[in-house]
A and B are shown apart, each in its own frame.
Chain A
Amino acid sequence: MELIFKNVSKAYTNKKVVNNISFELKKPTIFGFLGTNGAGKTTSIRMLLGIIKKDSGEITLDGKPVNRKNINFGYMPEERGLYPKITVYNQLMFFSELKGINKKAADTSIKYWLEKLNMMEYFNMEAEKLSKGNQQKIQFILAVMNDPSLIVLDEPFSGLDPVNTEQLKNVILDLVKQGKYIIMSSHQMNQIEEFCSDILILDRGKCVLQGNLKEIKDNYETNNVEIITNENIENYLKQLKLTNYNKVNNNYLINIKTKDEGLELFDILVKNKIELIKYELKKPSLHDIFIERVGK
């Protein structure tokens, strides 16, 4: 099974909001879909799910066009929304019926997911009485309760506390193991780095970077050295004209032009018997790459 998103474009009143975007998911994985606000992510997702029609291009999963009739998909939109006055169970049942799940199977699935995400105690509670994080977990259940092959998660972790974030991360990783294709959109780059094997960065409707995340990073030169030491090394940095650095407590993050600059610094510090707790030559983070590509 393969997800193909090929040469897809969309324009609103002569303004191209998505311009010839392509990507492929050849095996179950988590694909990072990144971009600034208004870059065209939501429009792309809506085209992917068949909510709005594309002007051109091809979107297929397993050779079939992606839409409600052909593909069983789940979607957790960025705009969180539940019926405020309706109980958790009733609204999950309503959406299950719409997704074509029979009542008995829906009941089993809802209870399974509520149990898995520690939400059983909110079974009969009106949605508006739930905390923001718990509402988000209900939305996540809405996206996965129909056992979809394709799951689109838009900012799945925003607003979740660390415990719930960890819980959701494990659930998402489990879903990939079960063979699900997951597309994740997020502004939290550390989470994309942690989860996604492949990424695509959109800027004003155009793809500015895409590919395997590891390969992308490997193609970047080392640009930082991280040093943790209890001693003051600022004089050595001055000596090597390394003026672009950040110091937080005893942690230095030093910007370097080449890997050799970092190694030269290491030699000087060792020669001067500076006790190093940590020394690491660092490739740019996804955050850095993102800023470099779309921050202009």
Chain B
Amino acid sequence: MKDSIIVAKFTATEMFKKKSFKITLAILLLSVIVGFNIPNIINLINNNNNVENKDTILVMDQEDIYKGMLNSLNQMELGYIFEITNEVKENDELRELLETNKISAAINITSEKDNIKLDYITEAMGLSGNILMDEMIFTDLYKYVKLSEYGLNEEDIMNINKPLIFGVIELGDAQSGEILVLSMGLCMILFFAIYYCAYQVSASITVEKTSKIIDTLITSTTPKSIIIGKTLGIGFVGLVEVLAIIITGFLSYKLFFPAEILTGHIDLSGVTIGFALVSIIYFLLGYTLYAFIYALCGSLVSKPEDVQQSGGLVAIVVLLGFYLAYFSMMNPASSLNKLATYLPISAPFSVPSRYITGAVSTLDISISIIILLLSIVAFAYISIKIYSSAIINYGTKFNLKTMIEMFKQNNN
């Protein structure tokens, strides 16, 4: 164990010193800060642009269907300037107005049999199909016009138009909602940690092999110490990276995220000690499992350019685990959820969210952790065994046959 710690300390120290690590972390942290500042940036741009840059929407009501009520659109502060007219402009004229940016869109209101028809006219819809206006405003306004015609006063109309209050009551043991979002966030962080940090275990092992330092290394310590040390070292660096991102995210959220968006959107009161514990345990176990899988890949290839190829296979497994967990989050009643809980590749992603929704029992968690631990030991054992043989077989192409042969080789 002492050697593993020496290898871990050396690996972590040298990784922290790497320029690529510092630059990547700086970019990530900056992205987090910028991400939490997006609402402020949008506000800043909007404030600078002010009223004169608001989009103008031309509304054409030739038949006066809205009985002059369309002017009230400008009092609703919808963020647009409405130019109301009873004239209908030809398409050529409208095209010119759109091209010269005098208007951003036009709406032509006509009657068709018993219906009212609204044609939204724009230069091009594009892929996003963004329509500046919500047609419900026109529907509500039309209802107001019609109900006024039937003699109802403003108060009666407001009462009729009152929206229903719709609520969801969950009878499960735990809360979901915001916590589920948090759980999803943790899944993303774990995915990131595996994809970017655990992956480096395999890269680090391959670099050592190509630099031929391995001959010196294996006479100084055991393959077991190298594999465990590297996993611990890179694991620690990965955790520091993740922690830095979480802390930066939390501080940015507190310092920069506008309070009006914040209010009522994220309620962390449902985070229990149990949830925190389950999340941390599964994060560490999941990360360790994948780190050993990546270590195995690293020991099987002999050139750094092959790491990507072998790592690609693991990435597919990670994605499979991630999507299985995502599926279980979206479909809490599915029978696939049991599989996602017990399968070691998906359990780290799936169990925390299932725990918070109360969909997983203590027995399920215990079985899942045992399976996960056994998988880690199994992968570590196979990795060390194959690594021991693979490191002294430079240039050997890996396939199932060579893997089995390497596994069988009776090395120290």
The answer, among A12, A50, A81, A99, for a CB contact under 8 Å with B412, is A50
Q: List B contacts of A53 (CB < 8 A).
A: 410-412
Contact A75 B211 (CB under 8 A): no
Interface of A is mostly: loop
- Separation of A165 and B18 alpha carbons in the complex (Å): 35
A68 touching B411 in the complex, CB below 8 Å, given contacts A86-B14, A94-B6: no
The answer, among B7, B10, B212, for a CB contact under 8 Å with A81, is B212
**A84 interfacial contact with B, CB 8 Å:** yes
Contact B220 A99 (CB under 8 A): yes
**B213 interfacial contact with A, CB 8 Å:** yes
Give the residues from 84 to 123 in chain A that come closer than 8 angstroms, CB to CB, to chain B: 84-86, 90, 94-95, 97-99
Contact B6 A97 (CB under 8 A): yes
Give the residues from 55 to 83 in chain A that come closer than 8 angstroms, CB to CB, to chain B: 67-68, 73, 75, 77, 79-83
Contact B405 A13 (CB under 8 A): yes
Q: List B contacts of A51 (CB < 8 A).
A: 218-219, 392, 411-412
Using an 8 Å CB-CB cutoff, how does the interface string of B370-412 with A read, 1 for contact, 0 for none? 0000000000000000000000101000000000010001111
How extensive is the interface on chain B, given as a class? 20 to 34
**Closest partner residue, chain A, to B18 (CB atom):** A85
**Closest partner residue, chain B, to A46 (CB atom):** B392
Contact A83 B213 (CB under 8 A): yes
Contact A49 B211 (CB under 8 A): no
Q: List B contacts of A97 (CB < 8 A).
A: 6, 10
The answer, among B6, B219, B394, B405, for a CB contact under 8 Å with A68, is B219
A49 touching B6 in the complex, CB below 8 Å, given contacts A80-B212, A83-B211, A86-B14: no
**B215 interfacial contact with A, CB 8 Å:** yes
Most buried by B among A73, A81, A90: A81
Contact A83 B14 (CB under 8 A): yes
**A19 interfacial contact with B, CB 8 Å:** no
**B139 interfacial contact with A, CB 8 Å:** no
Q: List B contacts of A224 (CB < 8 A).
A: none
**B3 interfacial contact with A, CB 8 Å:** yes
**Closest partner residue, chain A, to B216 (CB atom):** A142
Contact A52 B392 (CB under 8 A): yes
Closest Cβ–Cβ distance, residue B289 to chain A (whole Å): 27
**B101 interfacial contact with A, CB 8 Å:** no
Q: List B contacts of A94 (CB < 8 A).
A: 6, 10
Closest Cβ–Cβ distance, residue B396 to chain A (whole Å): 11
Q: List B contacts of A52 (CB < 8 A).
A: 392, 411-412
- Separation of A232 and B217 alpha carbons in the complex (Å): 58
**A139 interfacial contact with B, CB 8 Å:** yes
A81 touching B213 in the complex, CB below 8 Å, given contacts A51-B218, A52-B411, A94-B10: yes
- Separation of A70 and B169 alpha carbons in the complex (Å): 69
Contact A49 B219 (CB under 8 A): yes
A98 touching B18 in the complex, CB below 8 Å, given contacts A50-B412, A52-B412, A80-B212: no
Contact A77 B412 (CB under 8 A): no
Contact B222 A68 (CB under 8 A): yes
- Separation of A83 and B219 alpha carbons in the complex (Å): 16
**Closest partner residue, chain B, to A82 (CB atom):** B213
Contact B221 A98 (CB under 8 A): yes
The answer, among A73, A85, A86, A90, for a CB contact under 8 Å with B219, is A73
Using an 8 Å CB-CB cutoff, how does the interface string of B215-246 with A read, 1 for contact, 0 for none? 11111111000000000000000000000000
Q: List B contacts of A13 (CB < 8 A).
A: 405
- Separation of A67 and B220 alpha carbons in the complex (Å): 10
Closest Cβ–Cβ distance, residue B384 to chain A (whole Å): 14
Contact A81 B215 (CB under 8 A): yes
Give the residues from 1 to 33 in chain B that come closer than 8 angstroms, CB to CB, to chain A: 3, 6-7, 10, 14, 18
Closest Cβ–Cβ distance, residue B119 to chain A (whole Å): 65
Closest Cβ–Cβ distance, residue A7 to chain B (whole Å): 18
Closest Cβ–Cβ distance, residue A171 to chain B (whole Å): 18
Using an 8 Å CB-CB cutoff, how does the interface string of B22-49 with A read, 1 for contact, 0 for none? 0000000000000000000000000000
Q: List B contacts of A85 (CB < 8 A).
A: 14, 18
Closest Cβ–Cβ distance, residue A67 to chain B (whole Å): 7
Contact B221 A77 (CB under 8 A): no
Q: List A contacts of B409 (CB < 8 A).
A: 12
Contact B211 A68 (CB under 8 A): no
Using an 8 Å CB-CB cutoff, how does the interface string of B170-212 with A read, 1 for contact, 0 for none? 0000000000000000000000000000000000000010011
Q: List A contacts of B10 (CB < 8 A).
A: 94, 97
**B214 interfacial contact with A, CB 8 Å:** yes
- Separation of A77 and B409 alpha carbons in the complex (Å): 22
- Separation of A289 and B52 alpha carbons in the complex (Å): 98
Contact B6 A77 (CB under 8 A): no
Q: List B contacts of A50 (CB < 8 A).
A: 412
Q: List A contacts of B213 (CB < 8 A).
A: 81-83
- Separation of A53 and B388 alpha carbons in the complex (Å): 11
Q: List A contacts of B212 (CB < 8 A).
A: 77, 79-81
The answer, among B6, B14, B208, B211, for a CB contact under 8 Å with A98, is B6
Query: 15 other contacts beyond A81-B216, A82-B211, with CB at 8 A cut-off?
Result: A49-B219, A52-B412, A53-B410, A67-B412, A68-B222, A77-B212, A79-B394, A81-B214, A83-B208, A85-B14, A86-B14, A94-B6, A95-B220, A98-B217, A139-B216
18 A-B pairs with C-beta separation under 8 A: A46-B392, A50-B412, A51-B219, A51-B411, A52-B392, A53-B412, A75-B215, A77-B219, A79-B212, A79-B215, A82-B213, A83-B14, A83-B211, A95-B220, A98-B220, A99-B220, A139-B216, A142-B216
